Amino acid sequence: MAKRPADESVGKHDALKAGQRPVQKDNGDEAGPFEDEFEDEFESEDEILEAGVDGRPDEEREVEEKRVVLGSLVTDAMEVDQKTFIPGRDKLAAGESLSPDTSTYEMLHNLTTTWPCLSFDIIRDQLGDNRKSYPATVYAVAGTQADSRKANQNELMVMKLSGLSRMDRGKDEEDSDNDEEDDDENADPILETKSIPLPSTTNRIRNHQYPPQNSSNPPTTFTATLLENSDVLIHDVTPQLTSFDTPGTMITPQQSKPLATLKMHGSEGYALDWSPLAPQGKLLTGDNDGKIFLTTGEEGGKWSPDNRPFTGHQSSVEDIQWSPNERTVFASASSDGTVKIWDVRSKSHKPAVSVQISNTDVNVISWSRQTTHLLASGADDGQWAVWDLRQWKASGINGSISEPKAVASFNFHKEQITSIEWHPTDDSIMAVAAGDNTLTLWDLAVELDDEESRDTVGVQDVPPQLLFLHYMETVKECHWHPQIPGCVMVTGDGGFGVFKTISV
């Protein structure tokens, strides 16, 4: 699994999204004078074909052939490839670029930062659940990946993204002259940040909220940051979040210091997760040595790591997920191709179940919070799958079982899966990011044997479960917003994207 961004010397296309169309750059040729396409009357089909395939004047048709029409890729000014262009599979020719089909988005925004932030997490706020009004607001945390020569510029960024308006559908003037809400909905996006210095690059960051004793107060928001130097830093970012909406709030240097710096790992790692069932905080972190450590929050703000690791993986631990309904159970994914299920109460600190699900690295996993016996995985060969944990029965040495069968499996992506996440309220919807510069949305409720959908929109090898394809350079991580239905936030080399499609 590629853990670092692509070489900075490689050129980047503009950030593109699903329904994107490849467009050849204009060479500056001007179209001829406009002619009425219905001016000439043709007496036969042969004459229509001779006049330019579709009966339009040559000048108009030649201009049309310089751009993409209905997903076709223009490879030459006079030669049109009618194959649908699929980002991540098809390649752009010299002088071509992609542009999004904005009609497929309800909201679409791109925001850039000084350094790439290849891991982030969305923070729950107090603006309410099931929000559908615009402009939208998102709070998040992210860790930077500064150039190695400028490692001292790394930081933990606490962010507020506001003014996230819906797509402008070109309303009639009469409809918008006296509509005061239009001004708000079409507001310009604003990115506000508060910076906390970090000594190294961030490999993974996640947040956890401790409920307040007084309902009128905001929850306490902790972050855990797994750094490239193998340290784990825990911060309280509540003051930074409060300062966005409380004018005059001063943040002291002490409030930017970590509550704890954990040094139990002997190597760097990428696996990190907070338990959703432990209010005071239970944190799991995994490293490249195959070791997993548990850290527990205690009264008085103390953080206590168990220095005896959970062991059993033969290679690096790539991802960890706590069970959404069992306090002591968690799952881990590894580059040894296995997913293991553990119970923290085990005195042996060995897995209860171990399943070989891939011949390559298993990079990411996601545990469904709606249907808690379902676990999704994404591997280095581009395959992602859904597993029924009720079929994983412990047997043999180290709880291993053979020949597990996935409930669903897809190999649409041809590069490594870098992120996977269940929709927070719909257990049939998935978001999947991959190294082919795409993020895809899937609906598992679509029947696999739907005869009418085997070749989606006439394109082979596109599963009918594929809802949407969003393009982004070096996409690394994606998350659904838990309070804005259908809203997805994604990060890559070029910055952040926040979007909502018409499909979800």
pLDDT (tens digit, 9 = 90+) per residue, 278-302?
999 999 999 999 999 999 999 888 9
Separation of alpha carbons 281 and 499, rounded Å: 31
CB atoms within 10 A of CB 265: 23
Q: What is the chain's mean pLDDT, rounded?
A: 83
Three-state DSSP at 266 gives coil
Bridge partners, residue 161, by sequence: 138, 191
Q: Is the pLDDT of residue 329 over 50?
A: yes
Q: Is the pLDDT of residue 62 over 90?
A: no
Q: Can you give the pLDDT at residue 30?
A: 43
Q: Is the pLDDT of residue 445 over 60?
A: yes
pLDDT (tens digit, 9 = 90+) per residue, 216-234?
889 999 999 999 999 999 9
How do the residues of the chain divide into helix, strand and coil, expressed in percent and rounded to 5?
Answer: 10, 40, 50
* Top mean-pLDDT range of 61-65, 184-188, 372-376: 372-376
Q: For the ranges 85-99, 194-208, 290-304, which has the lowest average pLDDT?
A: 85-99
Task: Check if the beta carbon of residue 376 is closer than 8 Å to that of residue 368.
Answer: yes
- What's 104's DSSP letter? G
Quick one: pLDDT band at residue 14, thresholds 50, 70, 90?
Answer: very low
Quick one: pLDDT band at residue 24, thresholds 50, 70, 90?
Answer: very low
Quick one: pLDDT band at residue 91, thresholds 50, 70, 90?
Answer: confident
Q: Can you give the pLDDT at residue 328?
A: 98
Three-state DSSP at 183 gives helix
Q: For the ranges 87-101, 197-211, 300-314, 345-359, which has the lowest average pLDDT?
A: 87-101
Q: Is the pLDDT of residue 372 over 60?
A: yes
Q: Can you give the pLDDT at residue 171?
A: 53
Q: Can you give the pLDDT at residue 313?
A: 97
Average pLDDT over residues 177-204: 80
Token readout for 28 is 């500056």
Alpha-helical regions (H) of 319-415: none
pLDDT (tens digit, 9 = 90+) per residue, 374-421?
999 999 999 999 999 999 987 555 555 566 899 999 999 999 999 999
Q: Can you give the pLDDT at residue 227?
A: 97
Token readout for 131 is 């929000």
Residue 210, phi then psi, degrees to nearest 5:
-100, 120
Q: Can you give the pLDDT at residue 93?
A: 83
Q: Which amino acid is at 188?
A: D
Q: Is the pLDDT of residue 35 over 90?
A: no
Q: Is the pLDDT of residue 9 over 90?
A: no
Which residues, including other chains, have CB under 8 Å from residue 208's CB and lie 6 or more apart? 221, 222, 223, 224, 274, 281, 283
Separation of alpha carbons 104 and 457, rounded Å: 15
Task: Check if the beta carbon of residue 284 is closer than 8 Å to that of residue 297.
Answer: no
Quick one: pLDDT band at residue 98, thresholds 50, 70, 90?
Answer: confident
Q: Can you give the pLDDT at residue 447?
A: 77
The gap from C-alpha 457 to its chain's centroid, in whole angstroms, comes to 25
Token readout for 78 is 């006079």
Q: Is the pLDDT of residue 196 over 80?
A: yes
